[in-house]
Structure 1
Amino acid sequence: MENQTVRQVARISVGGKSVRVVLSNAFGEKPLTIGAGSVGIAGKGGEVDQATLKPLTWGGKSSVVVPPGAPILSDPIALPAEALSEISVSIFLPKKTALSSVHWDGVQTAYISGPGNFANDAAFKADSTLNHACF
């Protein structure tokens, strides 16, 4: 992927007042560049509830480079979520990125945009989908 946004839906088991997002480059052989990210309560068909959409940061910055073989943990985001609800995590991949760190048993749909950063858009047209979790 390159110059595309990936939106993934995850069911959370425990609710709370804030969330942190862990992304992984555990099996990557090159750095993983994340140009932007967001999180919000999932809607239908890859949409996010606009009122809950929040930008992700890492150490206060809106972008991050994850070294090969490593995970990255976002800063806490105030996002009240009920137990067993679904949240959407969107990441913009500005540079050519291989899908090397995936969860093949994670059977939630991932939505892949055409060219552009749509991380902070409540909805975007998906050019394709995947049936496993990425990063």
Structure 2
Amino acid sequence: MMQPVRLVQIAAEAEALRWHGFAARTMTRVLCAAIGLLFAAGALAVAHIAAWYALRIDAGLAFYWAALLIGGFDVLVAVVLLAYAWNSTPGRVEREAVQVRKQALAGVAATLSLVQLGMIVMRFARSMGRRGPKA
């Protein structure tokens, strides 16, 4: 049986590994999102201008209909992208680190329970030894 201190150390190392994986994944997501937003902003501006001219001149739509079509498309794209960004799950390393942490902490709880029981028995035995046998 492993010592409680070692089990706590293993749990702490697993938790640190999990947080490292989470931080790396989050930083990657933030960096990709920032770069993507810069390119998307430029492309979106050009696309809106082109769509506006196409709808107004080529399709002959009124001002409000052209604005409604472009705005509706923007909302649809925004909903799809936000749903995709919202659905990020932990990787294999993070899941395994959580499992290791749970196992280590379960071992600590089991070990401490045995140690605590042992302490109670030892105290009881000492108190009986001090009193001596009753006649």
Tell me the TM-score normalised to structure 1 length: 0.18
Larger Rg: 2
Q: Comparing both structures, which one devotes a greater share of its residues to helix?
A: 2
